[in-house]
Amino acid sequence: MAPSAKILDETLGLRERKKLATTRSLTSTARRLAAERGIDRFTIEDLADEAGISRRTFFNYFSSKEEALLGVHHKSKVTAAAQEVFLTDGPTGHLLQDLLTVVAAGFDDPQPDPKELRNLKAALQQSPRLLELHLRKHIERSSEIKALIAQREGLAPDHPSCILAANLLSAILQSSSEIFLAEGNTSPFDEIVSARLKDAPRLFAK
C-alpha cells in the first residue's frame, strides 16, 4: 500500500470518505462537461445536477466551477495528516519520497484517468481564466511545499535547499505526467512517479 493510501485508511471515517468521493465526482464531472461543451457552456447548476447534488451543497466543496475542474478543494483531514507525518520525518525518512506522499494526499484522485487529465489539459488551453487560476494555485502550492520543507529541515523557506527540493519535486511530477499521458502508456501514474524519483539521484551522480 502506498504511504498516501495508508494515511487515508488510517485517517478518514465513513463520512469523510463520502465527502472525498463527492469531491472526486465533481472534478471528474466538471472535466467531462468541459470536454463535451466547453468551459463557458455549462454552469455550476449543470455541474451539480450531473453530480447529483444541490447547488448549495456544491459550495461546500468548491467556490467555482474552475476550482472543481482543477481539483482545488478545501484542505482535508488527509492532507493535514500527511503534513503532520511529513514534519516528523515520515513516512519513509526520504525527503523527496515524503514530499510526494504529501502532494499525493492532496490529489483529487491518486490514480488519475488519462482521459480525464487530457480533458483538463484541453480546458487549460482553451481558457485563459482557468490557466491563470491554475498558475496561481501552483505558485501557492509551491510556497506551501517550501514552507513544509523549511519546517522539517530547520531552514528558512527561501533557503536554496528548500527551493531546489520544491523545484525537483515539480519536475518529477511534470515529467511523470507527460509520460503518463503519452500515447501507448500502460503504466499507472504512481509507478511512473516512483521510477522518476529513482532516476533523480542517478542523474545527479553523473
Q: Which CATH class is domain 3-205?
A: mainly alpha
What rounded mean pLDDT belongs to the chain?
A: 85
Q: Strands (DSSP E) along 66-140, which ranges?
A: none
* Residue 126, H or E segment: helix 114-126
Q: Where are the domains of the chain?
A: 3-205
Shortest CA distance to 26 belongs to which of 8, 2, 53? 53
Averaged pLDDT, 116-130: 89
pLDDT on residue 202: 73
Of the spans 104-108, 166-170, 194-198, which averages the highest pLDDT?
Answer: 166-170
* pLDDT tens readout for residues 34-83: 999 999 999 999 999 999 999 999 999 999 999 999 986 555 555 788 88
C-alpha cell at 128: 485563459
pTM of the model: 0.78
Give the separation between CA 67 and CA 41, rounded to whole angstroms.
Answer: 16
pLDDT on residue 1: 43
Residue 204 pLDDT grade (very low, low, confident, very high; cuts 50, 70, 90): low
Averaged pLDDT, 161-189: 91
Averaged pLDDT, 22-34: 91
- Nearest-Å Rg of the Cα atoms of the chain is 18
